[in-house]
Chain A
């Protein structure tokens, strides 16, 4: 039964589409930990995160057939995960918002930052926390304006205006 562990994510997901329970188990073991951690950064209530992770893998089981076989399985799972978290947030409105405290960035980290996002990353670091949160939710987490509003607890219109301001600022920084 250990053969599943040597399979790639894509192959596991295909097996899940074919109702292979063991494949789901292995997929869970691989992807649940980072998903828990990443979702915890969006929502501080562990009970909600657990619910969202649970819903995510149930959804993976039910919708594995809809995966088109392109791109990272992890990205696909994240897309489900963040939306399941939003569902949880919608059900229980009074939740602590994610902390977006300013942390000092060391010189070494500045270098690391540059690797994934280049100058964009550094420019983002100089945005105000509100604007950065909006960029993060829409650009990095792949949410729509409405979904981002729900995650951040602000109206969709506000997300739009903040996004416009952030874009303008980033353009200035980068040009």
Chain B
């Protein structure tokens, strides 16, 4: 679905992407990385909105520089901060995007709009104005428009930010549902999303691909390197609720080992900077 080799994108003096190489296949792939690591730049590039300065990118087997239109017809994209015409109804908004997706024939377009609204469970509110919707519903609306035309590739930029736990849960159900028979790429800085949703992860660090694999493989990186102690030690550590310190890093001899999580593996991958961010 996506093959990227040596992607570079420069803004002024900074390099958002610095020789990024990775591949994405069917299923849900998480782009994991701290804020400001170039995830949005990358997603926009995959959405054919930005062109890389250097490197090779193939989307759905095509070159975005030449076949941009063809790729866009088979692509769904939810930006990080999607704007909505707040005075539009849910139906109106999705219908508007459907027109931008070249669905010209009115009746067929309306049927498709109803289908995607039904798929994300918003049929009840399809006649309501967007300004009356909750945050979780708006996020669903954002997903609905990506499903128009049943695209093969769906790109979601930070889709779970700002959702409360219950909304997040329902949202995960939805994403895993739509990821069943196509490629879904979602960017996130939260390892829970990755652990719960993704069958593959690409970890970004400083504009490069730090790791590519399954969530389980990330977790396994921390195997034997997470332990509890009464004193602060290890590379990364924090005091847990029961007064013990949970440490990540090379474990001392005879330490009381703990079961690692995806987050532990991720923190190890990122090293010190993420530790500060997490603290």
Measured CB to CB, the residues of A under 8 A from B are: 1, 4, 19-23, 25, 61
**Chain A interface, >50% SS class:** helix
Counted as pairs of residues, one from A and one from B, with CB atoms less than 8 Å apart, the total is: 21
Q: Which of B119-127, B224-232, B254-262 contacts A (4 or more CB under 8 A)?
A: B119-127
Report yes or no: B121 in contact with A21, Cβ–Cβ below 8 A.
no
Q: Which of A1, A19, A23 contacts B128 (CB 8 A)?
A: A19
Report yes or no: B125 in contact with A1, Cβ–Cβ below 8 A.
no
Query: In chain B, residues 223-241, which have Cβ atoms closer than 8 Å to a Cβ of chain A?
Result: none
How many angstroms from the CA of A4 to the CA of B121 in the assembled complex?
Answer: 13
Q: Other than the known A19-B128, A21-B125, A21-B127, what 18 A-B pairs have Cβ atoms closer than 8 Å?
A: A1-B121, A1-B123, A1-B124, A4-B124, A19-B89, A19-B125, A19-B127, A20-B124, A20-B125, A20-B127, A21-B123, A21-B124, A21-B126, A22-B123, A22-B124, A23-B124, A25-B123, A61-B127
In chain A, what residue has the closest Cβ to B118?
A1
* A–B pairs, 21, beta carbons within 8 Å: A1-B121, A1-B123, A1-B124, A4-B124, A19-B89, A19-B125, A19-B127, A19-B128, A20-B124, A20-B125, A20-B127, A21-B123, A21-B124, A21-B125, A21-B126, A21-B127, A22-B123, A22-B124, A23-B124, A25-B123, A61-B127
In the complex, what residues of A have CB within 8 A of residue B125's CB? 19-21
How many angstroms from the CA of A19 to the CA of B90 in the assembled complex?
Answer: 11
Query: In chain B, residues 122-156, which have Cβ atoms closer than 8 Å to a Cβ of chain A?
Result: 123-128
B 104-127 to A, binary, CB cutoff 8 A, 1 in contact else 0: 000000000000000001011111
How many angstroms from the CA of A25 to the CA of B117 in the assembled complex?
Answer: 14
In the complex, what residues of A have CB within 8 A of residue B128's CB? 19
In the complex, what residues of B have CB within 8 A of residue A20's CB? 124-125, 127
In the complex, what residues of B have CB within 8 A of residue A19's CB? 89, 125, 127-128
